[in-house]
Amino acid sequence: MDLVERFLRYVQVETTSDESTEVTPSTPTQMAFAKMLKQELIDLKFEEVVLDELGYLYATLPANTDKKVPTVGFIAHMDTAPDASGKNVKPRIVKNYDGKDIPLNADTVMQTNYFPELLNHVGEDLIVTDGTTLLGADDKAGIAEIISAMIYLREHPEIEHGKIRMAFNPDEEIGMGAHHFNVELFGCDWAYTMDGGEVGELEFENFNAASARITFHGTNVHPGTAKGKMVNAALLAMEFAEQLPEEERPESTEGYEGFYHLTGMSGSVEEAQLSYIIRDHNRELFEARKKNILAIAENINAQYPGRCEVMMKDQYYNMLEKVQEADEENRKKNLPGIIELAKQAILDAGVAPKVQPIRGGTDGAQLSFKGLPCPNIFAGGMNMHGRFEYVPIQSMEKAMMTVVNICKLIAK
């Protein structure tokens, strides 16, 4: 079975995650897929194949050299995003793409004026949806690429490599992918998530992230006799929102710029709530943003005592500091830096590395702070989380060879 055949088989298995279930994995279909993958890895005669009760799957390609080589790992997630249906996925290959709009079905056309990135892949073979579901390249492309790379290495024993670990986890799309990841069992010096998008992408900087829920307590009386008595919680919520800078919203920021993002609101005179996510690449600016939220709440409470309550929680941090620490440790041991290694591996696959910050987070960010430095490498998927998702076969092949090249370079 080749890379493409493996991928096409995987995407036809439903694995949508669901944050409302509060169990791990969040859906039974993910565990069913994990069991399917486990049996496949056993049939392929990989070693140390372990599937735990929470749906985390681990496996090993043993070293083929006596050299002392660091153990590297590759990680991809099994779930697909709940933003669009992942059931009854019907992938189709558009061979030798001609640069024109792509009809997905009678009513749905993927247009180049909406998706100009398509034109970067003229002449390539694109795997698309039928316009009714997502595709699942995020991140079944990553799974297929990792397993295919391990098979390639085993079929080419002339390529020396150390012990290589694979891991496939559930629930990344609902922010829970790294929560139960067994870093100690995985046993790697460092790892890479194969979960990026466009060919060449390499990401090792992400947002610091927090969530905030602000609750406003009002006093409701009949509006005819409300003077001097009513406190309208909904209006307090509006007052709070107006004190955050308009130019620091997601729709007004890019690159390394952080933001406050209002994700939900509800309210009445008696009680109102605002939900925010807070993001910044810079840790000091991130802490300043959180303090600003608290300061606005204090201002409202100074005017209306006890009316504003803030619950704030850190979610994840910028992996950059942990990646830099790992690079420094590697230099002390005369080993290559994990970022320089990935850049060279991408170059050796015939692609120019595209280093960019992640305006979000990855499992790798959380894993980096659990002791496993873990940058993110492209898997090739585009327009993810929706019915216009597609992946060029050539991008998947280059991602697979990037994995091979990393293993080869480490052994050198």
pLDDT digits (tens, 9 = 90+) for 79-101: 999 989 999 999 999 999 999 99
Per-residue burial over 94-126, b = 16 or more CB atoms within 10 Å of its CB, e = otherwise: beebeeeebebeeeeebeeeeeeebeebeebbb
Give 336 or 402, the one with higher predicted confidence: 402
Mean pLDDT, residues 245-259: 94
Residues present in the chain in total: 412
Q: What is the DSSP letter of 119?
A: G
Going from the C-alpha of 117 to that of each of 14, 84, 111, 122, 331, the distances in angstroms are: 27, 21, 10, 10, 38
CB 377 within 8 A of CB 360: no
Say whether both 84 and 73 belong to one domain: yes
Please give the Cα distance from 287 to 275 (Å, whole number): 18
Query: How distant is the alpha carbon of residue 63 from its chain centre?
Result: 29
- Can you give the pLDDT at residue 335? 83
pTM, two decimal places: 0.87
pLDDT averaged over every residue in the chain: 95
Residue 412 pLDDT > 90: no
Asked if residue 225 and residue 287 are part of one domain, the reply reads yes
Same domain, 221 and 102: no
Q: Residue 131: its pLDDT value, please?
A: 95
What is the CATH number for 257? 3.30.70.360
CB burial of 172-206 (b: ≥16 within 10 Å; e: otherwise) equals bbbbbbbebbebeebebbbbbbbbbbbbbbbbbbb
Range of the domain at 276: 208-316
- The position carrying tokens 């997601």 is 250
Beta-strand relationship, 271-280 and 208-217:
antiparallel
Give the model's confidence band at 334: pLDDT under 50 very low, under 70 low, under 90 confident, else very high: confident
**Is the domain of 239 the same as that of 312?**
yes
Residues taking part in catalysis: 79, 172
**Domain boundary at 316, 344, 359, which?**
316
Q: Is it the case that residue 122 has pLDDT exceeding 90?
A: yes
Cis peptide before 139 (omega within 30 of 0): yes
pLDDT of 128 over the 70 cut? yes
Is-contact 217 306, C-beta < 8 A? yes
CB under 8 Å to 401, separation ≥6 — which residues? 149, 348, 349
Report cis status (omega within 30 of 0) of the bond before 223: no
- C-alpha 94/C-alpha 114 separation (Å) is 18
Tell whether 304 and 357 lie within a shared domain: no
Domain boundary among 279, 297, 316: 316
Predicted confidence at residue 1, as pLDDT, reads 65
Which structure tokens are listed for 137? Answer: 């390249």
> Do residue 322 and residue 287 come from a single domain?
no
Q: In this structure, are residues 198 and 389 in contact, taking their beta carbons and an 8 Å threshold?
A: no
The model's pLDDT over 50-74, given as tens digits with 9 standing for 90+, comes to 999 999 999 999 999 999 999 999 9
Q: What pLDDT score does 329 carry?
A: 87
Tokens (6 digits) for 397:
């092949």
Tally of domains within the chain: 2
Report pLDDT for 93.
97
Query: 164 and 218 in one domain?
Result: no
Instruction: For residues 217 and 289, state if they share a domain.
Output: yes
- The per-residue pLDDT for range 9-22, each reduced to its tens digit, is 999 999 999 989 98
Q: Is the pLDDT of residue 37 over 90?
A: yes
- The verdict on 169 and 218 lying in the same domain is no
What's the average model confidence in pLDDT over 359-365? 82
For residue 157, give the CATH number of its domain: 3.40.630.10
What pLDDT score does 223 carry?
Answer: 92
Indicate the residue type of 64: N
Of 261, 295, 316, the last residue of a domain is 316
| Residue-level pLDDT at 355 | 93
Instruction: Give per-residue pLDDT as tens, 217-241.
Output: 999 999 999 899 999 999 999 999 9
Average pLDDT, integer, range 160-182: 94
The fraction of the chain above a pLDDT of 70, given in percent, is 100
- CA distances, 78 to each of 20, 30, 314 (Å): 18, 7, 25
pLDDT surpassing 70 at residue 267: yes
- The two three-digit tokens of residue 331, written as one number: 């230099």
SS3 at position 324: helix
Q: In the prediction, which pLDDT does 282 show?
A: 94
Confidence tier at 316 by pLDDT (50, 70, 90): confident
Does residue 372 share a domain with residue 388? yes
- Please determine, for residue 363, whether its predicted confidence score (pLDDT) is greater than 90: no
- Quick one: 120 and 172 in the same domain? yes
Q: At what angle do helices 28-43 and 137-155 cross, to 10 degrees?
A: 10
- 166 shares a domain with 102: yes
